[in-house]
């Protein structure tokens, strides 16, 4: 075997090992943040935190996500930032879950169904991306443009709701759009890890967490509308 062939094989092996390391660290950190979010959501539900406080926590988490996580992703501080973001989002989710559990006679069923559908969707899409090893980078621009538009629409809905104006069809359309977009984000982010496009497990973790979080809340809204019983 020629020296160039040996170097090529060695390089490919190092690349595979590096990818597997990123993948392993990503799923480990993701599991830890999901558990931490569930704990903070449980605390918010136990103390019956008001919706306003939950909203503030979610907005603070959004600020950390945009301005702090990218700047700290290459240091140990990035892990602290990820836990801060996911903990705050979990706490902000608590009042929403309480609203479903107390507002609908079958609220527990709705929450569990949304949780089960989110888990099954994430596992299924991740398994497909891992097994097929397809490159989903072509989705990047469409995904982020769609997420930006859906986010702006959601913020607009939130502002209008403060003035007592709530447009149910638009809210459902936004939730449906987020559901589709988050499925695409799971495929894209997993594909980036598998194909070496994402080598930072902190950024990979926060990307997958955001997809899971938004997928769950969107499914919760859709199921609440379709199945909710007073």
Over the stretch 38-87, which tens digit does the pLDDT of each residue have?
999 999 999 999 988 988 999 999 999 999 999 999 999 999 999 999 99
Are 114 and 62 spatial neighbours (Cβ–Cβ below 8 Å)?
no
4 vs 230 pLDDT, higher one:
230
Q: What is the model's pLDDT at position 5?
A: 53
Residue 120, Cβ neighbours under 10 Å: how many?
Answer: 10
pLDDT digits (tens, 9 = 90+) for 103-136: 999 999 999 999 999 999 999 999 999 999 999 9
Q: Residues 6 or more apart from 157 whose CB is under 8 A from it?
A: 166, 167, 170, 171, 174
Angle, alpha carbons 91-62-67 (nearest 5°): 135
Is residue 222 scored above 90 in pLDDT? yes
Total number of domains constituting the chain: 1
CA 129 from chain center: how many Å? 17
133 Ramachandran zone, left/alpha/beta (phi>0; psi -120 to 50):
left
97-119 CB burial, b ≥16 within 10 A, e <16: bbebeeebebbeebbeebeebbe
Owning domain of residue 141 = 3-227
Is residue 6 scored above 50 in pLDDT? no
164 vs 25 pLDDT, higher one:
25
Is residue 11 scored above 80 in pLDDT? no
Is residue 153 scored above 60 in pLDDT? yes
């Amino acid at each position: 075997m020629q020296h160039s062939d040996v170097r090529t094989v060695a390089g490919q092996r190092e690349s595979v090992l590096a990818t597997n390391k990123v993948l392993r660290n990503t799923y480990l950190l993701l599991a830890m943040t999901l558990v931490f979010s569930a704990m903070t959501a449980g605390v918010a539900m136990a103390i019956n935190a008001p919706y306003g406080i939950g909203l503030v926590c979610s907005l603070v988490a959004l600020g950390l996500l945009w301005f702090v996580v990218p700047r700290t992703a290459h240091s140990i501080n990035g892990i602290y930032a990820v836990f801060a973001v996911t903990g705050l989002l979990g706490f902000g989710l608590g009042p929403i879950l309480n609203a479903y559990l107390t507002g609908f006679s079958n609220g527990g069923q709705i929450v569990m169904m949304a949780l089960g559908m989110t888990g099954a969707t994430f596992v299924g899409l991740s398994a497909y991306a891992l097994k097929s090893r397809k490159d989903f980078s072509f989705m990047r621009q469409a995904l982020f443009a769609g997420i930006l538009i859906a986010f702006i629409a959601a913020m607009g809905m939130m502002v209008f709701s403060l003035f007592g104006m709530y447009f149910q069809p638009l809210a459902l359309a936004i939730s449906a759009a987020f559901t589709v977009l988050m499925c695409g984000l799971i495929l894209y982010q997993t594909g980036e890890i598998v194909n070496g496009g994402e080598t930072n497990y902190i950024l990979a973790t926060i990307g997958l967490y955001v997809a899971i979080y938004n997928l769950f809340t969107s499914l919760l809204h859709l199921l609440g509308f379709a199945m909710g019983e007073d």
